[in-house]
């Protein structure tokens, strides 16, 4: 494995271009796991997935298997999914409820906060094991913190606070929650799991890429454009076709009506894109009218209006989340290897909203995030082709310069593109990437070897 | 409806098996427009994402098309600029074990087992499971009022699913 010094890493990321090795070199991937995924705050799950004591949800931080659980003390814990005896995976199910976690191999059992509960043949160890040793456990992840129900964890014992890490991008999480009339959201409606043979960074990059739909999604745009709207629909197809047509918006639209805002640590959002009227035919859709009424009844007219006028499209919280508040979509990126990535996509239900609003969420998920959708399948194809293309010995550098001359500083310590077609989100992610990878991010220097 | 009329219009197993074989052949030959013409005017086509999934409205689906979206899906499949089918897949399907579960008047609910092998760009994938067809008689011909595809690995991690099952 090549050794990457700080200087050699810095050479890979330049103002207008990045080196293709960032997507293809297993040594880079290994360093990313160590210096990004195993160090900074990583989204793990949502509190609604572990509502009751004993509830658990198995997932990964980077490539490390962990379990998020609600313990009898009411708190949420994240523990390594590994037995302290011989290292076996303890929790084999994706989610559930348990009194205790018990290893299948020799029966060591653990409390749902990871502490050891019982060791069979305990007497045979004498003084050689100490049940109060925090390492004789399903070891707890050192830092776990929730922001409005979104649980983040860090494998590093010290570092910037979650608030500092999120900064202004926390307002996009606020937007997810505020849209619920009862002020609470919950994960519901199942999950899509899709995989592609390409690097994890491609996914986050694509979710803020305003210049791709016209080309990547051409087939579904053309097919939807000429669809006869008189044909029978139970509402699902109607939402799907409207979204596919919207993907066909011209460059003029992207340049005049859509913006991109970026923030420290790699976070960013596309905004001002669809208003709710375009997406769900707001005023014509009785569900949406009922929803606005419910929101106004609970929050008051002024606050309801403020909430609905936050018009963000996709928000990325670097390095593993991309979400969208208007249809309550939430995508979690799981890097597997340098050229393999799996993405799990979830839906949130708005508590206090009319039941039928959630149907719109599901219909939208099926078309935008569905493994068999008319839209996502072309994105997945593209990620795969990037993977193939980068193996070539042609272009050594990948261009990230679009809009660089017209980016400008913005409020909240941010920067914005002149419009959504700027590749500022790429430059912003790579600036953060380099800071993480070289340990120059304030507060991370001490942790860097 | 009298028993005599029902007996006259309800499809029997032999007719159903011929129909399922014909449907599979249309799909194998990528004759998607002809496949679409097998569906009734208010039909739906459904591939759940979870084993035993109860409905397509409260839980996401690998595919859930009402008639309007199914038409758009088929139109997309017929296009030359469909990246996810450039190059095209080749596929073959076996349909077996057909059994009539219910016979409401003039209709039949049929369960069958299927296996589909899809080959594209040096990779071969195998899908298997059961079909639940609701078949109705319209102007003498059988039509698909609904088709549900239960994949044995519906809740697995998948690459893009483009070719219908
Ligand atoms: S490895 Fe878990 S009990 Fe032995
Ligand atoms: Fe896309």
Nearest CA to ligand 1 atom 1: A86
> Which residue among B41, B60, B79 places its CB closest to the CB of A192?
B60
Nearest CA to ligand 1 atom 4: A106
Q: Note whether residue B3 is domain-resident.
A: no
Q: Nearest CA of chain A to the CA of B5: how many Å?
A: 29
Residues A282, A334, single domain; the answer is: yes
**Residue A99 DSSP symbol:** S
Please give the pLDDT value at position A273: 56
Q: Is the CB of A138 under 6 A from ligand 1?
A: no
Do A237 and B65 form a contact (C-beta atoms < 8 A)?
A: yes
Domain CATH code at residue A310: 3.90.380.10
Q: Note whether residue B4 is domain-resident.
A: no
How far is Cα A268 from Cα A430, in angstroms, rounded to an integer? 12
Q: Note whether residue B157 is domain-resident.
A: no
Residues A181, A307, single domain; the answer is: yes
Residues A350, A207, single domain; the answer is: yes
Domain CATH code at residue A59: 2.102.10.10
Residues A134, A208, single domain; the answer is: no
Question: Which of A122, A154, A186 marks a domain boundary?
Answer: A154
Question: Which of A119, A137, A154 marks a domain boundary?
Answer: A154
Q: Which structural domain, as residue segments, surrounds residue B135? A: 13-52+60-151
Do B27 and B90 form a contact (C-beta atoms < 8 A)?
A: no
Do A70 and A52 form a contact (C-beta atoms < 8 A)?
A: yes
Residues A76, A199, single domain; the answer is: no
Structure-block tokens of residue A282: 């707001």
Question: Which of A154, A184, A201 marks a domain boundary?
Answer: A154
Beta carbons within 10 angstroms of residue A329's beta carbon? 21
Please give the pLDDT value at position A442: 53
pLDDT tier, B163 (very low <50, low <70, confident <90, very high otherwise)? very high
Using the mean position of ligand 2's atoms as its centre, give its distance from the Cα of residue A197 in Å: 16
Residues A167, A195, single domain; the answer is: yes
Using the mean position of ligand 2's atoms as its centre, give its distance from the Cα of residue A244 in Å: 10
How far is Cα A429 from Cα A314, in angstroms, rounded to an integer? 15
Domain CATH code at residue B118: 3.10.450.50
- Count how many residues are written for chain A: 449
% of residues, chain B, pLDDT over 90: 88
Residues A166, A297, single domain; the answer is: yes
Q: Note whether residue A397 is domain-resident.
A: yes
Q: Is the CB of A86 under 6 A from ligand 1?
A: yes
Residues A236, A378, single domain; the answer is: yes
The CA distances from residue B132 to B46, B100, B148, in Å, are 10, 10, 5
* Domain count of the fold of chain B: 1
Q: Note whether residue A177 is domain-resident.
A: yes
- Dihedral of CA atoms A137, A138, A142, A144 in degrees, nearest 10, equals -130
Residue range B69-77: average pLDDT?
98
Q: Note whether residue B74 is domain-resident.
A: yes
Residues A371, A302, single domain; the answer is: yes
Q: Which structural domain, as residue segments, surrounds residue A71? A: 42-154
Q: Which residues of B touch A373 (CB under 8 A)?
A: 63
Please give the pLDDT value at position B13: 94
Please give the pLDDT value at position A448: 37
Q: Note whether residue A405 is domain-resident.
A: yes
Residues A256, A405, single domain; the answer is: yes
- Mark A196-222 as b/e (b = at least 16 C-beta within 10 Å): bbbbbbbbbbbbbbbebbeebbbbbbb
Q: Note whether residue B84 is domain-resident.
A: yes
Q: Note whether residue A122 is domain-resident.
A: yes
Do A4 and A34 form a contact (C-beta atoms < 8 A)?
A: no
Q: Nearest CA of chain A to the CA of B163: how many Å?
A: 9
* Domain count of the fold of chain A: 2
Element (H, E) at A231: none
Residue of B nearest to A221 (CA): B76
Q: Note whether residue A29 is domain-resident.
A: no
Q: Note whether residue B160 is domain-resident.
A: no
Q: Note whether residue B125 is domain-resident.
A: yes
CB atoms B66 and A237 under 8 Å: yes
Burial label, B158 (beta-carbon count in 10 A; 0-12, 13-18, 19+): buried
Q: Note whether residue A445 is domain-resident.
A: no
pTM value?
0.95
Using the mean position of ligand 1's atoms as its centre, give its distance from the Cα of residue A121 in Å: 12
In tens digits, what is the pLDDT along chain A, a chain of 449 residues?
567 999 999 999 999 999 999 999 999 999 999 999 999 999 999 999 999 999 999 999 999 999 999 999 999 999 999 999 999 999 999 999 999 999 999 999 999 999 999 999 999 999 999 999 999 999 999 999 999 999 999 999 999 999 999 999 999 999 999 999 999 999 999 999 999 999 999 999 999 999 999 999 999 999 999 999 999 999 999 999 999 998 998 999 889 889 999 999 999 999 875 555 555 545 567 788 899 999 999 999 999 999 988 889 899 999 999 999 989 999 999 999 999 999 999 999 999 999 999 999 999 999 999 999 999 999 999 999 998 899 888 899 999 999 999 999 999 999 999 999 999 999 999 999 999 999 886 544 433 33
Q: Which stretches of A19-116 are DSSP H helices? A: 21-24, 26-32
Residues A85, A195, single domain; the answer is: no
How far is Cα A204 from Cα A202, in angstroms, rounded to an integer? 6
Residues A127, A271, single domain; the answer is: no
Q: Note whether residue B7 is domain-resident.
A: no
> Which residue among B66, B82, B162 places its CB closest to the CB of A234?
B66
Do A329 and A323 form a contact (C-beta atoms < 8 A)?
A: yes
């Amino acid at each position: 494995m090549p050794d990457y010094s700080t200087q050699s890493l810095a050479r890979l990321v330049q103002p207008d271009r990045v080196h293709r090795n960032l997507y293809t070199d297993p040594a880079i991937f290994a360093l990313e796991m160590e210096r990004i995924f195993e160090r900074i705050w990583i989204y793990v799950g949502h509190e609604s997935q572990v509502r009751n004591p004993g509830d658990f949800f198995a997932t990964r931080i980077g490539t490390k298997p962990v379990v998020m659980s609600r313990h009898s003390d009411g708190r949420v814990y994240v523990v390594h999914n590994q037995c302290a005896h011989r290292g076996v995976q303890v929790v084999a199910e994706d989610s559930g409820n348990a009194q205790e976690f018990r290893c299948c191999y020799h029966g060591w059992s653990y409390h749902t906060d990871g502490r050891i509960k019982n060791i069979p043949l305990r007497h045979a160890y004498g003084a050689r094991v100490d049940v109060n040793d925090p390492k004789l456990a399903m070891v707890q992840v050192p830092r776990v913190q929730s922001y409005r129900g979104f649980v983040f964890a860090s494998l590093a014992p010290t570092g910037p606070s979650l608030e500092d890490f999120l900064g202004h991008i926390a307002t996009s999480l606020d937007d997810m929650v505020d849209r619920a009339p009862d002020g609470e959201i919950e994960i519901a409606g199942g999950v899509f799991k899709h995989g592609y043979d390409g690097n994890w960074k491609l996914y986050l990059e694509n979710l803020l890429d305003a210049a791709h739909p016209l080309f990547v999604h051409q087939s579904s745009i053309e097919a939807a454009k000429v669809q006869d709207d008189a044909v029978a629909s139970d509402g699902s197809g109607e939402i799907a076709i409207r979204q596919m047509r919207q993907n066909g918006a011209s460059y003029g639209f992207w340049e005049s009506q859509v913006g991109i805002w970026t923030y420290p640590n790699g976070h960013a959002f596309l905004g001002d894109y669809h208003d709710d009227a375009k997406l769900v035919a707001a005023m014509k859709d009785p569900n949406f009218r009922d929803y606005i009424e419910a929101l106004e009844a609970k929050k008051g007219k002024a606050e309801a209006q403020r909430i609905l006028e936050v018009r963000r499209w996709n928000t990325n919280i670097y390095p593993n989340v991309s979400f969208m508040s208007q249809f309550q979509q939430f995508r979690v990126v799981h890097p597997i290897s340098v050229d393999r990535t799996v993405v799990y996509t979830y839906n949130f239900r708005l508590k206090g909203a009319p039941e039928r609003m959630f149907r719109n969420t599901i219909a939208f998920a099926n078309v935008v995030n569905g493994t068999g959708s008319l839209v996502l399948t072309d994105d997945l194809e593209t990620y795969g082709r990037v993977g193939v293309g980068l193996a070539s010995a042609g272009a050594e550098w990948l261009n990230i310069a679009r809009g660089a001359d017209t980016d400008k500083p913005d409020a909240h310590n941010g920067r914005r593109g002149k419009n959504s077609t700027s590749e500022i989100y790429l430059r912003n992610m790579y600036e953060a990437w380099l800071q993480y990878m070289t340990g120059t991010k304030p507060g991370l220097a001490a942790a860097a070897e | 409806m009298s028993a005599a009329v029902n007996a006259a219009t309800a499809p029997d197993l032999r007719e159903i098996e011929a129909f399922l074989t014909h449907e599979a052949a249309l799909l194998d030959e990528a004759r998607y427009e002809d496949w679409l013409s097998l569906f009734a005017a208010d039909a739906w086509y459904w591939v759940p994402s979870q084993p035993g999934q109860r409905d397509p409205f409260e839980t996401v689906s690998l595919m859930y098309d009402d008639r309007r979206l199914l038409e758009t899906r088929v139109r997309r499949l017929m296009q030359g600029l469909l990246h996810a089918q450039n190059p095209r897949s080749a596929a073959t399907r076996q349909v077996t074990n057909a059994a009539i579960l219910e016979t409401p008047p003039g209709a039949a609910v049929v369960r069958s087992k299927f296996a589909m092998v899809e080959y594209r760009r040096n990779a071969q994938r195998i899908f298997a499971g059961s079909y639940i067809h609701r078949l109705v008689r319209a102007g003498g011909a059988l039509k698909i009022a609904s088709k549900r595809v239960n994949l044995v690995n519906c809740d697995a991690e998948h690459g893009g699913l483009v070719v219908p099952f």
